[in-house]
Structure 1
Amino acid sequence: MTSMYKPPGLPEADRCLVMGVVNVTPDSFSDGGRWFDTGRAIEHGLRLAEEGADIVDVGGESTRPGAQRVTCDEEIRRVGPVVTELARQGVPVSIDTMRAEVAGHAVDAGALLVNDVSGGLADPAMARLVARTGVAYVLMHWRGHSHEMENRAVYGDVVKEVHDELRARLESMVDEGVDPGQIVLDPGLGFAKRPENAHNWALLAHMDTFHALGRPLLIAGSRKRFLGRLLTDPEGNERVFTECDDATLALTTLSADRGAWCVRVHNVRPSADAVRVAAAWNTGGARLDQGRGTPVGRSVR
Structure 2
Amino acid sequence: MNKIQVTSQLKKLLLVIFLTVLIWAWAYNALEDTTTQPATLSIYQSPDSALLVEFVDRESPIDFEITVKGPASGISELERKVLTGEEKLDFVFNAKTERKDSPGRYVLDVLQFVKNSAKIEVLGLTVESVSIDTVEVEVEQLVQKQLTVQVLDENGLPLEHEDIKPSFVETYVRPQSTTDSLKARVTLTPDQIEKARKGYITAQPIVEISPNEFRQAAAVQIKLPPTADTLENKLLPYLRVGFLMGDQMEGRYEVELINANEVVSTTRFQATDEAWAVYENMPYQIVIPVYENDAEQEKVTREVIYNFPHEFLEKGEIKLTGSPRTAEFRLLPVGEQNQQQ
Shorter-chain TM-score: which interval? under 0.3
TM-score (norm 1): 0.19
Between 1 and 2, higher relative CO (CA 8 Å, sep ≥ 6) is seen in 1
TM-score after normalising by structure 2: 0.18
Larger radius of gyration: 2
Higher strand share: 2
